Amino acid sequence: MARQLRAEQTRATIITAAADLFDRHGYESTSLSDIVEHAQVTKGALYFHFAAKEDLAHAIMELQSRALRDVEGDLDSQGYSSLETLMRITFGMARLSVEGPIPRAGLRLTTGGVAVRPPLKHPFTEFRDVASRKLLGAVKESDLHTDIDVDAVAHSLVSFYVGTRVVSRSLEPVARQPRRLAEMWYVMIRGLVPVTRRARYLNLAARLEREIRIA
């Protein structure tokens, strides 16, 4: 049992080290030797868990996908409206990006042309599906204009969210991301939410941003 635990800890250490390097330097510019040195493990330990750098990238994207599902599942059980749940999902993922390198590396890998291997869904497709479900719920709950094109809004939301993170990563410290995310929501809320419900969600965006900043 102790041996299995050590193996799991070593695997996690390797993944975190790889994620940190992929995030800071990119996939192509990071070698397995770099990862071995950064993780402070032997090459044998790395090859025991991962046969190739591509396997490490895939493991990171799997963890990114699992994080999205976990955040959604946790929020779905708390009784929030569909729109609030969607907003909290985006801020929850932003919090994870501030706290650790795996979500940041997952985004960089996804936008850097690293292939997504089946049965794993492409992260953008998975996020778009989540957004579509919540947007449909928000329309039924009268939190969004009834004449919106849900598919178009979901696609735009994912593009806006990913673009915000990519631009922020290039120009600003990662801790600035929650503020940029709040700004994204201010724009979307004003275009999508009826006037009578707008203040609630504008205030929510400001509150969620403050919560991440304080944490």
Looking at every residue in the chain, the average pLDDT score rounds to 93
pLDDT at 56: 96
Buried b / exposed e across 172-202, counting CB within 10 Å, b at 16+?
eebeebbbbbbebbeebbeebbeeebeeebb
For 58-101, write each residue's pLDDT tens digit.
999 999 999 999 999 999 999 999 999 999 999 999 999 888 99
What angle is formed at CA 179 by the lines to CA 178 and CA 183, rounded to 5 degrees? 115
pLDDT at 215: 52
For 130-168, write each residue's pLDDT tens digit.
999 999 999 999 999 999 999 999 999 999 999 998 888
End-to-end CA distance of the chain: 35
Rg of the chain in Å (alpha carbons): 19
Cα 201 from Cα 81, distance rounded (Å) = 11
pLDDT at 1: 56
pLDDT at 214: 60
Residue 45 has pLDDT above 80, yes or no: yes
Given a contact cutoff of 8 angstroms between Cβ atoms, the answer to whether 106 and 165 are in contact is no
pLDDT at 169: 80
Q: What percent of the chain has pLDDT over 70?
A: 98
Cα 34 from Cα 70, distance rounded (Å) = 31
Nearest residue to 107 via CA among 150, 157, 68 = 68
Nearest residue to 158 via CA among 209, 121, 195, 114 = 121
pLDDT at 72: 96
Q: Is the pTM of this model over 0.85?
A: yes
Read off the pLDDT of each residue in 99-118 and give the average, rounded to a whole number: 90
